Each structure stands twice: as C-alpha cells, then as structure tokens.
Structure 1
Amino acid sequence: MKILYVIIMMLFLGMMSCSEDNLKGYSSSNYIQFDKLSKDSTVFSFAYDETLESGTVALKLVMISPLVDRDRKYNVTFLQDESSAQAGVDFEMPVEEQVIAANDSVAYLNVTVTRNEALKGSVLAVFEVQGSDDFMPGIEANRKGRIFITNQLTRPGWWNDWHEANGLGTYSDLKYQTFIREIGVTDMTLEADGGEMNYSTMRAYVLQFKYWLQEHPTEDEDGSLMKVAMRG
C-alpha cells in the first residue's frame, strides 16, 4: 500500500512539473494567454446574413497575474505562415493598442472579418501571444488563437447530441438557415458550456421554432418535414 502511495505521488508531481515546464525561464510572474486551447477555433460565417459585409470576432484572453491599478499592454501577432487568410483582405487587426485595463484580468482581441466574394470554402487566421513589457506568453497549449472565416454555413458546436435527441432535432444546413431566419438566433451556447444563454431561454426558442413548423410545414434537405425533438 505504501509503495502504491509513493507511485501515485510521483505521477502527480510529474504532471505538475510538465505543466510548469512551459512557463520556466521567465523571471516575470505575469502571463497572458488565450482562453481557448490553441487546437480549438472560433468560426465566423457570412452565410448567416447575405447582406453582411463585415463582422467582429472577439478572441478572449486571460491573464495569470496579480491585479494592478494601471493599464497593461499585451502583444498578439498574426502568423501568416500558419494561415490561409490574408491580412487586409479577409480580416483586419485592431489599430488601437492591445491593453488589459487596470484591475481587470480579461481582455478581448477584436478582429474585424471582411466578406471576400472570391472566398471558396474557408480560410484560417492564426494569432499568437508574444512577450511584452508587461506580460510573457502563458502555457503553450493556449498561446495561439484561431479564426475560421467562411461563406458557408457550418454546424455550430452547441447543436450537439443533446439537441439531436432532446432539442432542435436532426441537424441540416437548411434547417439551421430556417431557424436563423424565423427565430433570429444563431448562438444557443448555454452558460454551463461557456455561453451566455440560460436553459429556459434556449427552451423557449426551440419551442417557438417547433410551433412555427407546426403552422408552416417545411421540407428538409432529404425531402422529409422538419421536426423538433423537444416536447412541449
């Protein structure tokens, strides 16, 4: 039993040291990183609104640092070598300084994306946290932010297995377009999943769509009538 305890402690300490290895070598105790993991992407689609010419994607950054009573500058750069998007064509970086306000621990990099009529499919823009006078890059897994820019409709992450079985039902691009057009909502990410919508509001939107379909039977892409799984 004592041997097992020692092995568990060694594994735990090893995991802790791996997490800290990414931050070694910095004398600073102030770090900043993207809130999302580098492997995750934010998708912006112009397919939701055919009249839309531009939009804003707010990439959230968080700091690992004590709060201070002054503004602090951070530095994020665009990585052209890892991107298929073109600066000045598909998006624009903010012109103002990148700042975390005094006594705050969160910042947003507001990237302006632009409709490119020549775009076929999707393009990727990759950004990376760089060192500044006030911050060093945080853990390696969160140093990059990714934006997919597309003219096509893409299935949102919130339309998951739960929605298939209990919410909006089976997904199709046509059904999603119809939902957006009639209900006027594109994002139903729940608060528990990092979004801004509570369950009651989400349920109300789903049932509103269900009742609309009952009054306006609509064919889906496969020729069947659109259905909503939620009871009510």
Structure 2
Amino acid sequence: MTGREILHKMKEKVGLSSSADSGKGKSKMSRNITHGFHLQPNFWTEPENAMRKAYRITDTKILEKAGDLGRGGSTAVTAILINCQKLVVANVGDSRVVMCKNGVAKQLSVDHEPSTEREDIENRGGFVSTFPGDVPRVDGQLAVARAFGDKNLKEHLSSEPDVAMEMIDDDTDCIILASDGLWKVMSNQEAVDTIKNIKDARSAAKRLTEEALNRRSSDDISCVVVKFQ
C-alpha cells in the first residue's frame, strides 16, 4: 500500500474523507497570507454531533494503543469558537471550562463525579466506593465517572462527553480551560478574579498555574486562557 493510500485510509477512519468540508483562501491585503481548513462533513450543521464523534474516535484510538501507552487514561476539555460568536464546549471527567461575563464566572462544562453517576456505573456492573476520608471512586480506583482510556475500567466507565453551546457577546471577558489541578484549589470566581486585570492571555494562563502551585495543588495543572478584547 502506498503512502497516499495509507493517508486516505486514515482519513476515512476519522471521518475526513473526500466528502468532508474543505477550503482555502488568500488575503486580499497580502498575497503572502493564505489559509486552509478541513472538517468533518457535519461540523458546520451539527457541531455537537461532530464533537461527540471526535471524542469517540479519540477514546477508541487510545484504547487501541493501550499496549504501547499503558492502561491509564485522561480527562479532557475542548472549546471551539465558530465565527467568533458561537462557542461549543465538551468535556469528560473533571477538566472544566469557565466563562467570564462582566466579571462573573459561569461554568460551561460538567464535572463527572462518581457520586452523581452512581446509578449508571452500577447499571454497567461497576460500583462506587465511599470510604471515609477519601473521595468516591469507580470500582474503588478512579475519582471521575468519565474519561478517555482506562482500559481495565472501561466496562464501567463512560467516555461520552457533555456538550454545550454558548454565545459570545460584547460582555464576554474570557474563557478558562483547565484540568483539576487548578480547580481543586481555586473556585471558578477566584480564577476569573485572578486574571481580570491581565490582558495578555499567555500571561493570564501562567498566572493561574503559578497561583495553583502557590496553593500547593498536587494534581496536574494544565491551563488555556482565551481573552476577548
């Protein structure tokens, strides 16, 4: 099989066949600036379904590579801004998206905790432990009810994301995407207050991670900040 044929097969697997949405363009102001894009066929008309499909594909690929990557897993959070107006967010686990409008924090994602999804976990044949001094865990191991990977728990664990849409307007200050290393030591409002006077998005993300470390966060800290000027 040639390299071209292999690439075509890979595109078909992830929904990027010839029927996918493609395009290119050139700036009228400068012939040196061009752009291109290539999307799943239903992204513009059904962005929620496209997002769910992308999450399913990602989980499948991680499970297929468990022999190389190990049996662990990961939470995830995603935000896509369409035409600078429509924000589509998705997540599995306790990674979180928080929006700030007029200085007020609003959580857009859902924290998938074993205690709130106990019935679904038990219906899959699993259980939720609630030992004193510890957080609820799926099968006594995982502290989130949904995640990518975790092959040994996958029968009892969901990787289906919660997806939501929010409109961006002139009152929107920023959005924060971060893993639980930030949120375990900082409330949503504290996070947006921490960066409200920082105009540069990169500096804002750095400030949040530094503050989480100052508060002795012991979990992984990943943070992305998008500022709307």
Q: TM-score range by the shorter chain?
A: under 0.3
Larger radius of gyration: 1
Name the TM-score, length of structure 1 as normaliser.
Answer: 0.27
Question: Structure with the greater relative contact order (CA < 8 A, sep ≥ 6): 1 or 2?
Answer: 1
